[in-house]
């Protein structure tokens, strides 16, 4: 799409809750207010857990969201991810990794390394060492990074610099990971604006760094505040009536939920098109929205 696009890209591993739906609404508003198209991508890299696509599309439609092309499914794009890995491998940017999660967690790291960063255990194995380890377990493939940090632009957070490490490019079961797939798909779909939850801000530098190695266009990010439960924790399925289906069971239809979300964004009730007229990123609340129960956030319930 020549004018660029925004997107919403849920993983179909469960029903969308109010936090997911609020992010979808924000992604739509950011895209439409900037003259961009709006696309939907189904991030179903793990087919075993991907069972709720139809329900998610139904809920997004019920809220009034529309998109400009048939949704793309990551499960149908494995060849593109493998081609990108081949390009990186030809440039000397890929190596085999035989570490388990527990080995990575227990490995010593440099004092400045962030928690969870890969310590480079398999980076410089000899061919003899790799051959020996292949007999014990299949290898994952990792990126041979030459940077420790990278800077991205965020419409709500400004300039953000975060760590980069030797991220996984292909799991040892042959499945491409999220960090690779999202970079390839955003570029392929002409997506130049990524609106998503604030918990993913720290992932943006490594994704942007990977895109730069592949010669892909830069993306402008907007990491929006999360929805929290009454305990101040990120909203999760255990928090009760938080999906459209569950809220319908206590008398809230999709219009009520949309108005609830719009109210949390200081936008007028009604259709998304009406809210678009009042939407401005500069006026968005910057703190999290606490959704303890429908009655706590919507008077009269």
| Separation CA 19–CA 14 (nearest Å) | 13
| Separation CA 16–CA 62 (nearest Å) | 12
Assess contact for 259 and 269: CB atoms under 8 A.
yes
- Residues belonging to the binding site for ATP are 237
- Residues belonging to the binding site for L-glutamate are 7-11, 43, 178, 196
Contacts of 126 (CB under 8 A, 6+ apart): none
- Residues belonging to the binding site are 7-11, 43, 97, 99, 118, 122, 178, 196, 237
- Residues belonging to the binding site for Zn(2+) are 97, 99, 118, 122
Assess contact for 74 and 49: CB atoms under 8 A.
no
């Amino acid at each position: 799409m020549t004018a660029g696009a925004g997107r919403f890209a849920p993983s179909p591993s469960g029903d969308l809750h109010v936090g997911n739906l609020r992010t979808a609404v924000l992604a739509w508003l950011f895209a439409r207010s900037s003259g961009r198209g709006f696309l939907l991508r189904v991030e179903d890299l793990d087919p075993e857990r991907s069972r709720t696509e139809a329900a998610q599309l139904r809920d997004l439609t019920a809220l009034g969201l529309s998109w400009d092309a048939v949704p793309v499914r990551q499960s149908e794009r494995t060849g593109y991810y493998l081609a990108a890995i081949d390009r990186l491998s030809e440039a000397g940017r890929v190596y085999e990794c035989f570490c388990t999660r527990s080995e990575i967690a227990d490995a010593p790291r440099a004092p400045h390394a962030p928690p969870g960063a890969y310590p480079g255990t398999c980076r410089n194995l000899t061919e003899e060492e790799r051959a020996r380890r292949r007999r014990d377990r299949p290898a994952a493939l990792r990126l041979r990074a030459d940077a420790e940090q990278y800077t991205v632009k965020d419409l709500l957070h400004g300039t953000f610099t975060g760590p980069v490490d030797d991220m996984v490019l292909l799991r040892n079961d042959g499945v491409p990971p999220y960090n690779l797939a999202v970079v390839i798909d955003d570029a392929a779909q002409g997506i130049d604006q990524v609106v998503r939850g604030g918990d993913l801000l720290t992932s943006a530098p490594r994704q942007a760094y990977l895109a730069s190695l592949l010669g892909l266009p830069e993306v402008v990010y907007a990491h929006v505040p999360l929805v929290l439960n009454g305990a101040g924790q990120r909203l999760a399925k255990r928090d009760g009536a938080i999906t459209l289906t569950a809220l319908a069971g206590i008398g809230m239809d999709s219009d009520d939920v949309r108005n609830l979300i719009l109210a949390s964004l200081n936008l007028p009730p009604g259709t998304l098109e009406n809210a678009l007229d009042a939407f401005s990123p500069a006026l968005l609340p910057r703190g999290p929205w606490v959704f303890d129960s429908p009655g706590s956030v919507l008077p009269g319930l």
